Amino acid sequence: MSNVSGTISVNVEFRDTTTSSGVQSLKTVTLRDATEYTSGKVAIVTGTVGTSAVNLGTLGTTTYRNASGSVVSFSAVTRLAFSWSGSSERFLTEQNDDMFKLRSADGRVAVTDLTADTFSPLMLQGLGTGTYTLVIYGTS
């Protein structure tokens, strides 16, 4: 039996400093979210692709394996994280329905929440060669 524990964190902070008439103004914009997971299922899918679009399978039916090599199947997928190593952007989308589009380049991570009925086949679209990582979180 596999145990799942992890955190998906998003931390955005920008500071804008302006000086006018000898007075310095500072504006700060902060967005933070951290969700800790202590149960559920997780699968990590990695691969190397060339210049063409790639079908990554359907979230609910594709066979994934956990750390012990056991099959992981999801009844509901609720969160995805996606990263692409190439310098040209790649897009992770649903093949038949653009309910979401995650963009990544240079190893940046994009995260989205999903509804439980998001089971369309996933497509990796865009130009350039590189490696991708997709983290799938859901429940049984």
- Judged against a pLDDT cut of 60, whether residue 1 lies above it is answered with no
Report how far residue 111's alpha carbon sits from residue 83's, in angstroms, rounded to the nearest whole number: 9
- Judged against a pLDDT cut of 70, whether residue 119 lies above it is answered with no
User: For 35-94, what is each residue's pLDDT tens digit?
Assistant: 888 888 888 888 888 877 788 777 666 667 777 777 777 778 888 899 999 888 888 888
Supply the pLDDT for residue 117.
60
**What mean pLDDT do residues 107-133 have?**
82
- Indicate the average pLDDT of the chain: 82
Report how far residue 114's alpha carbon sits from residue 8's, in angstroms, rounded to the nearest whole number: 14
Domain boundaries, the chain: 39-139
Are 95 and 55 in contact, with CB atoms under 8 Å apart?
A: yes
**What mean pLDDT do residues 122-130 have?**
85
CATH class of 39-139: mainly beta
Tokens representing 16 are: 């804008």
Name the residue with tokens 């859901």.
Answer: 138
Report how far residue 61's alpha carbon sits from residue 64's, in angstroms, rounded to the nearest whole number: 9
Task: Count the alpha carbons within 13 Å of 105 in the hemisphere toward its beta carbon.
Answer: 8
- Report the relative pairing of strands 109-113 and 76-84 from DSSP bridges: antiparallel
